[in-house]
Amino acid sequence: MKLFIDTANVNDIRQAAEMGILSGVTTNPSLVAQEGRDFIQVLQEIIDIVDGPISAEVVSLDAESMVKEALPLADIHKNIVIKVPMTAEGLKAVYQLAKRGIRTNVTLIFSANQALLAARAGAQYVSPFIGRLNDISVDGVELISDIAHIFDVHAIDTEIIAASIRHPIHVTQAAKAGAHIATVPFEVLDQMIKHPLTDRGIERFLADWSTLHKK
Ligand code: E4P
């Protein structure tokens, strides 16, 4: 399973990219709003940091306007993927964009049927939201494994991005359930690095090493 970072914070993206773990980036309107910066400028900076798919979401609600919004975004760079919400209008936009060779990521997926529809409309990626399903007491990981099973049985090559990741266990579970990608907030990537036994191990190695020079 590949790892994307789920943020519009360029500093966080840079830090994660320096570790060589990143295959792409996802943003959404809330994440962009949090930064309070010009969206296009942010995208340009991300493009310079990460050489992989970078999702930029449209905010229009009808297909024609979504496509109109998507075209200049897709023109910025070949790595830009247009993120489209899972609605009937969104599916029409995905279909139109696919015909132009523009990759899409259908977001706000909460059921296997939504994922199947998005794939059939021509989406390159679907983003089932694990955390938001957990919030309403539904098993988001089970959804990932249902979608993975359906895509496998029917030889659908749309990739599954496990989204709305809230903690490291979600990442492990998504990988085991067959997600191709998990898009992970910086804080969760940081938690994934750490383990108390690693810290304790380093401390002990250094303490033992320091005795060597005293001998
Ligand atoms: C997916 O691409 C979304 O940006 C994101 O994962 C949403 O996560 P949230 O539920 O934590 O807002």
Q: Which of 68, 83, 99, 176 is catalytic?
A: 83
Distance of CA 103 to the CA centre of its chain: 14
Does the Cβ of 127 fall within 6 Å of ligand 1? yes
**DSSP per-residue letters across 185-197:** -HHHHHHHH--HH
Name the residue at shortest CA distance from atom 5 of ligand 1: 164
C-alpha 135/C-alpha 117 separation (Å) is 24
**pTM over cut 0.90:** yes
Does the Cβ of 96 fall within 6 Å of ligand 1? no
C-alpha 211/C-alpha 51 separation (Å) is 45
pLDDT at 215: 65
3-state secondary structure of 55: strand
C-alpha 78/C-alpha 97 separation (Å) is 14
- CATH at residue 122: 3.20.20.70
Is the CB of residue 101 less than 8 Å from the CB of residue 80?
Answer: no
Q: Read off the pLDDT of residues 24-36 as tens digits, 9 standing for 90 and up.
A: 999 999 999 999 9
Dihedral pair phi/psi, residue 47, rounded to 5°: -60, -35
Element (H, E) at 122: none
pLDDT at 214: 73
Does the Cβ of 32 fall within 6 Å of ligand 1? no
pLDDT, mean of residues 125-150:
98
Pocket test for ligand 1, best of 6, 25, 143 (most atoms within 8 A of CB): 6
pLDDT, mean of residues 126-137:
98
Q: Read off the pLDDT of residues 156-186 as tens digits, 9 standing for 90 and up.
A: 999 999 999 999 999 999 999 999 999 999 9
Distance of CA 155 to the CA centre of its chain: 22
Domain count along the chain:
1
**What amino acid occupies position 54?**
I
Is 83 a catalytic site residue? Answer: yes
Residue 152: count of CB within 10 angstroms of its CB: 10
Range of the domain at 157: 2-214
**What amino acid occupies position 22?**
L
Q: How far is the CA of 162 from the centre of ligand 1 (A)?
A: 9
pLDDT of 108 over the 90 cut:
yes
Does the Cβ of 105 fall within 6 Å of ligand 1? no
